[in-house]
């Protein structure tokens, strides 16, 4: 007999806010299935405020409140049992972040947890990467966001290290990443991956997912380093307008996709990885699975 639950995750990033509603299908004697019910993305670029003026503007706050009210109603009509809302780099850096958390809780009933880079990496690691890649491989998992990039390293199926760097797409667009940060990332990757055999990269984030979709490859097939580099060169030769009209990118994707691919491309070069896999996983998936498995202490809510 099947038992079906619905859990949800709200990921408040530097470039967009996302609501993921997940079906959790349980059957005795079988592995639990996590199946996406719906995903709603709202392009509120909080990082543009947080990284330039140091706080979230009133206009962005209003959009956040409206989005969270809508998210709550969508979860309610979908009969979501448990959910959690997490905010990452932009809200971490915003001076008025805690004030906004209080306001949103009062106006929408949703309590936002502002998580640090270490917890973000732990949540990402809850996405069951072993289901996508054989555990005999060494894996460098990379999640590129608007404000930060999380690196998590696995060897022989076990997580051995993780690191968060303040190098993300919105920061790069605003020229707010010093060369020393790139140097630190290069050093960390080279040191941590030294001596690891059969290293592959797994990428998550909207930008790498878009590049993968454009490739037309089957979901279980990887992109090569050379393909990724070729796409980086191609996108750089196109104007912002052409990326929208010719490639069909959303306006809020057409600018951040170049710095995102640059991060993935450099990480592959420094680690010596030839392939990058792009499974459909990320922070939202990790939140749902972390709530379900109860491996990470998370302050989830019920409806």
Contact 43, 16 (CB under 8 A): yes
Q: What is the pTM of this model?
A: 0.87
Helix (H, G, I), strand (E, B), or coil: what is residue 291?
helix
Cα separation, 220 vs 199, whole angstroms: 17
pLDDT tier, 7 (very low <50, low <70, confident <90, very high otherwise): very high
Instruction: Kindly give, in sequence order, each residue whose CB lies less than 8 Å from that of residue 263, ignoring residues fewer than 6 positions away.
Output: 142, 144, 149, 167, 169
Instruction: Indicate whether 298 pLDDT > 80.
Output: no
pLDDT tier, 260 (very low <50, low <70, confident <90, very high otherwise): very high
pLDDT tier, 51 (very low <50, low <70, confident <90, very high otherwise): very high
pLDDT tier, 132 (very low <50, low <70, confident <90, very high otherwise): low
On average, the pLDDT of the chain sits at 92
φ, ψ dihedrals at 293, nearest 5°: -85, -15
What mean pLDDT is predicted for residues 139-168?
Answer: 89
Q: Which domains does the chain have, with CATH numbers?
A: 2-118+283-302 (3.30.420.40), 128-277 (3.30.420.150)
pLDDT tier, 229 (very low <50, low <70, confident <90, very high otherwise): very high
In terms of pLDDT, which residue wins out, 172 or 298?
172
What mean pLDDT is predicted for residues 110-135?
Answer: 75
Instruction: Please list the residues that pair with 158 across neighbouring strands.
Output: 155
Structure tokens that stand for 64 in this block: 């956040």
What mean pLDDT is predicted for residues 98-106?
Answer: 97
What mean pLDDT is predicted for residues 143-168?
Answer: 89
What mean pLDDT is predicted for residues 66-82?
Answer: 98
Instruction: Indicate whether 134 pLDDT > 60.
Output: no
Instruction: Indicate whether 268 pLDDT > 90.
Output: yes
pLDDT of residue 281: 77
Instruction: Indicate whether 299 pLDDT > 90.
Output: no
Contact 153, 140 (CB under 8 A): yes
pLDDT tier, 130 (very low <50, low <70, confident <90, very high otherwise): low
Q: Is 220 exposed, middle or buried (0-12, 13-18, 19+ CB in 10 A)?
A: exposed
Among 207, 188, 205, 208, which Cα is nearest to 271's?
188
Instruction: Indicate whether 129 pLDDT > 70.
Output: no
Q: How far apart are the first and last CA of the chain?
A: 25
Helix (H) or strand (E) holding 151: strand 149-155
Instruction: Indicate whether 159 pLDDT > 90.
Output: no
Cα separation, 68 vs 77, whole angstroms: 14
């Amino acid at each position: 007999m099947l038992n079906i639950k619905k859990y949800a995750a709200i990921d408040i990033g530097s470039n967009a806010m996302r609501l993921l509603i997940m079906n959790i299908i349980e059957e005795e004697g079988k592995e639990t299935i996590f199946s996406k019910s719906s995903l709603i993305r709202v392009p509120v670029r909080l990082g543009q405020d947080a990284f330039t003026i140091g706080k979230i503007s009133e206009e962005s706050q209003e959009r956040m409140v409206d989005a969270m009210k809508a998210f709550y109603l969508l979860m309610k009509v979908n009969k979501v049992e448990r959910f959690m809302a997490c905010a990452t780099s932009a809200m971490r850096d915003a001076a008025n972040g805690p004030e906004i958390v209080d306001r949103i809780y009062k106006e929408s009933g949703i309590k936002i947890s502002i998580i640090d880079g270490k917890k973000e990496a732990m949540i990402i690691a809850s996405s069951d990467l072993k289901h996508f890649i054989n555990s005999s491989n060494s894996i460098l998992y990379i999640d590129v966001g608007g404000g930060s990039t999380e690196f998590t390293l696995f060897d022989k199926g076990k997580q051995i290290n993780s690191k968060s760097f303040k190098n993300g797409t919105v920061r790069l667009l605003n020229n707010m990443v010093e060369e020393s940060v790139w140097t630190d990332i290069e050093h960390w990757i080279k040191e941590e991956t030294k001596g690891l055999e059969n290293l592959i990269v797994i990428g998550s984030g909207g930008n790498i997912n878009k590049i993968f979709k454009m490739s037309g490859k089957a979901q279980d097939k990887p992109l090569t380093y050379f393909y990724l580099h070729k796409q980086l060169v191609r996108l750089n030769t196109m104007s912002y307008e052409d990326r929208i009209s010719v490639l069909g990118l959303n306006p809020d994707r057409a600018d951040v996709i170049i710095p995102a691919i640059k991060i993935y491309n450099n990480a592959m070069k420094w680690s010596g990885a030839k392939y990058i896999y792009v499974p459909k996983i990320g922070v939202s998936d990790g939140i749902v699975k972390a709530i379900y498995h109860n491996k990470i202490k998370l302050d989830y809510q019920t409806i």
